[in-house]
Amino acid sequence: MKVSMSLILITLWALVTIAKAYDPSPLQDFCVAIDDPKNGVFVNGKFCKDPKQAKAEDFFSSGLNQAGITNNKVKSNVTTVNVDQIPGLNTLGISLVRIDYAPYGQNPPHTHPRATEILVLVEGTLYVGFVSSNQDNNRLFAKVLNPGDVFVFPIGMIHFQVNIGKTPAVAFAGLSSQNAGVITIADTVFGSTPPINPDILAQAFQLDVNVVKDLEAKFKN
């Protein structure tokens, strides 16, 4: 059976459209998320508060003026403001984080499966970057940022930020999803539950299996 080129193109267009259908645009002014479906209406795949019952508090959060605690193994803290903190963000396709870095602290290599990130440095000096996909030969795109500088991390790319200064650093970042998700590479690979077979990781990372076992012990949840 012959298939016309126009049909193939239409099918490909449909697949691309479906693949990009995360965080869809709302079909009404807003869709404030609600936990109890008995008190809500079903809109855009989520249970939402009756719009007539929405209030200013549904679109408000405070506290980003306060520094996060950086007394941890990576010496950084991410304060997230997404749909869990502001239910009015539901279906709006956007969220925000504040990132605090102790001197020489880092936001270790990670990826956001559902969002592009745009970061602005407010205080301190950061070395930031992302690595492109295998198809692009895993190129590193990196810059040193000073206050007022902005850097973009494309959706799905592994990226990082490191405070290379002797003083604390502060950055804010916007993400193109109400719930961007985060996958920290080291925690995910070496700290999964149950753990990945050490022999698999030893071959993948070209490490001695005992080194892998030691890493899994360190990252064990």
Binding residues for oxalate: 107, 112, 117
Q: What are phi and psi of 142, to 5 degrees?
A: -140, 150
Q: How far apart are CA 214 and CA 76, in angstroms?
A: 24
119 to 26, 95, 152, 173: CA distances (angstroms): 25, 12, 6, 4
Q: How far apart are CA 47 and CA 138, in angstroms?
A: 40
> Cβ contacts of residue 6 below 8 Å, gap of 6+?
none
> Cβ contacts of residue 54 below 8 Å, gap of 6+?
30, 32, 88
Residues of each annotated binding site for Mn(2+): 110, 112, 117, 159
Per DSSP, 133 falls in state: -
Residues of each annotated binding site: 107, 110, 112, 117, 159
Torsion sign over Cα 30, 33, 37, 39: negative
Query: Hey, what's the torsion of the CAs at 74, 178, 68, 220, to 10 degrees?
Result: -30
